[in-house]
Chains A and B, each alone.
Chain A
């Protein structure tokens, strides 16, 4: 039996402002070394789910365990072993690529020599080698996204969360990224990503389809497509949504 690294039970999040139920009774179990894609339209509750699992947003009710640690109670302990690349670039635009990554490395108490070694690994993979000293404000959107991914991976986490992290990256690089993600997963890294681009999710090991704060379907891409006799995950999503627009 595989080891669960993320477990969420009856997760509910109600935002005070407007009494919006962003997440509504979500149950989630993700295993070690899995690439799990949480997909759904904008406003379906993906980011709220990720924020709760990473401990930055407190749930209204329900329980979360990450690497066996209760979240948010032990979020600082869990934080040492997770990396997050949020939907926004969330970088210091005045600092250079290297300075941004070094700042995040220091938050995980990395020593400079270890950081240098890690940077030499990451920058070529993320095609940022020549941009090492460039200020982030002078980078393109895709490059900023890659810097954000580097910041999430610098401390060699056990779980990494990519919230719409591959948005804005060109298709060739995205394919390269998936290859890289796959190699990381083989080494035991668990990857949780969110996307509203359905076809991208087909590369994941398992998919969770979210709608209106609920997980409406879950399984491998092949299982889901065959269950609904659909050619693509996007077709499945349309069928499940019954043509109802969730978020205009």
Chain B
């Protein structure tokens, strides 16, 4: 009696063949290793928000203000100088001191990104305001920010302290406790952030203090920390799809697939063989991606590293099955290559990677719930930044697992098992 039932040996043969082929195909193998590194580096820095050495101009015209601090002693206040020094010590900006007009010209022609003017009466106004002598008079700093090439925008920053520092909730001589989610930092330009810091430092202690406490272990995250989880999800989505589609489609275009139809290898055995091989390759890619994220970028992982690895592998598996499913519709390698960005780019936009989901209209938010990357982001962000465990992320894990199962079933249902006619 001939044996033609399900054979693990045949599944293993397909897995072995795919892995052997990849190990001999330097182009694809190189892409597997190099592309995660390149994409991670580009996206990591681009989304990290860690912009440094932004060239700006500061025109400090502040004449200072001398006030009697005792019966026989005078104190000269130089708030403008303090701001300038603070900016010079801030590595987010690179300060050049020259006239405000030159600075504006520099902003217009792209030499500088901002120009700052501290007026002559700055210290005097600030001091008098502090005493309540100039309730209606505001000290101001003029800033020209280069928002587009050749087109500066004039912002006047009022220095009524309560207004100037309103963004962080400071009121004169009062301490405001602020509790915020450090994983969603305000999207501020580095110039404005540096200037705000400088303005705060200019008033010294001044009775002003900001007591910030962050959720999730009171850890303050950098822009890079908060962007890496979604970068990992994107890179896994894009690369796993791309490489899986290339590997599977290559077989059908070389004529081997038609030959396989004449052998005892069943469609299910073939799909399982691909999936196991691609899963092993996916694990390699997960190691590369997490290795770069943690080793190169030094991103924080508050949760369990093993859970993060498991989440990444499960997420990769869902996309492997998606690729196996999609490969049934790709007639050649070119079509397969086109499919990867067609899936990955809308996923990037809809998953909250670039803009938080709650900023979208309701109907777009509903669509987002159907995007696997949305759940990938939640898992990676939850484990890495919030220290969530499997209990916190059970729904997300279940949904990703469900997506993987759904795509595998769709792949089995649509797989070609004979020459199309």
B106-146, CB < 8 A from A? none
| Interface contact A107-B24, CB-CB below 8 Å | no
B367: interface (CB < 8 Å): no
A105-148, CB < 8 A from B? 106-109, 135
Q: Which label, helix, strand, loop or mixed, suits the secondary structure of the B interface?
A: loop
Instruction: Bits for B1-22, please: 1 = Cβ < 8 Å to A, else 0.
Output: 0111001011011001100110
By a CB distance below 8 angstroms, the chain A residues around B2 are 77, 80-81
In the assembled complex, the Cα of A108 lies from the Cα of B264 at a distance in Å of 7
B263: interface (CB < 8 Å): yes
A91: interface (CB < 8 Å): yes
A56: interface (CB < 8 Å): yes
Point out which of B12, B21, B262, B419 has the most chain A C-beta atoms below 10 A from its C-beta: B262
Given A86-B255, A92-B17, A93-B254, A107 contacting B421 (CB threshold 8 A): no
| Interface contact B12-A106, CB-CB below 8 Å | yes
A177: interface (CB < 8 Å): no
Residue of B nearest to A161 (CB): B262
Given A106-B9, A106-B10, A90 contacting B264 (CB threshold 8 A): no
A84: interface (CB < 8 Å): yes
Contact for A58 among B20, B259, B418, CB less than 8 A: B418
Residue of B nearest to A111 (CB): B9
| Interface contact A86-B25, CB-CB below 8 Å | no
Given A99-B20, A103-B16, A107-B13, A56 contacting B262 (CB threshold 8 A): yes
Give, as a whole number of angstroms, the nearest-CB distance from A125 to chain B: 21
| Interface contact B256-A57, CB-CB below 8 Å | no
A127-183, CB < 8 A from B? 135, 161
| Interface contact B12-A90, CB-CB below 8 Å | no
| Interface contact A79-B418, CB-CB below 8 Å | no
- 13 A-B contacts, Cβ less than 8 Å apart? A55-B418, A56-B262, A56-B419, A77-B2, A86-B262, A90-B255, A92-B17, A92-B256, A103-B13, A106-B10, A108-B264, A109-B264, A135-B24
Q: Which residues of B contact A (CB under 8 A)?
A: 2-4, 7, 9-10, 12-13, 16-17, 20-21, 24-25, 254-256, 258-266, 418-419, 421
Nearest 7 Cβ contacts at the A-B interface: A88-B255, A106-B13, A56-B261, A90-B259, A90-B255, A94-B24, A84-B262
